[in-house]
A and B are shown apart, each in its own frame.
Chain A
């Protein structure tokens, strides 16, 4: 079982739609959580951190459920420019060291 799992998609949605992605993680020692965005042939960039109480940044809402070990990202009022791959990232403790583990990514295509 992968440490971080995501539905690879693609999710094809019309402009203005609301779309949600989920991500599950297997290691209960996971410390912190993030969503990164990666455009085609570009490097990943931080979209937002995910806090236990949930957090919102404009049209984007992230939530964390530690009991069920999943993270979600909700995008409201989708724009064409939201088309990208969304990577779920978990910072996991291993024997006193930490590393960031990435999911496969979920591809989103917003259609005009």
Chain B
């Protein structure tokens, strides 16, 4: 497709389970971002990839959260031992290039809504 694709669109899981959320960015976009958004809040930065490497993972809340982008395209956000507080919309965005002056537009996917019961 032409846009950023995220799957699943909805995920309901039980406390303690493992979850994977997938993001397929726009073809050719080198920069990929994961955000988490709770109701009434703005997107909260989690991690930023430039190519295959995580350029900045300072937003990951704890070591239960991990993300990979092995071939510089598709990325997977992995959450271990989920907790009820992990419930949120997880948004992925891609950009033609990374940050810096004159930085490009972020294109978002429709998000993966995670509910932890």
Contacts and interface: CB of A to CB of B under 8 A. Distances in A.
A94 B58 contact: yes
A103 B92 CA distance: 17
A91 B103 contact: yes
Contacts, number: 72
Contacts of B43: 44, 87, 102
Contacts of A101: 45
Contact of A46 (B41, B44, B98, B106): B106
Given A43-B109, A94-B56, A31 B42 contact: no
A96 to B, nearest CB: 9
Interface string B7-49: 0000000000000000000000000010100001111110010
**Which 9 pairs of residues, A with B, have the shortest CB-CB distance?**
A98-B99, A43-B108, A102-B42, A97-B56, A97-B55, A102-B43, A104-B42, A46-B105, A105-B42
Interface of B: 33, 35, 40-45, 48, 50, 55-56, 58-59, 91, 93, 98-103, 105-106, 108-111
6 contacts: A31-B101, A32-B102, A34-B105, A93-B100, A99-B59, A100-B106
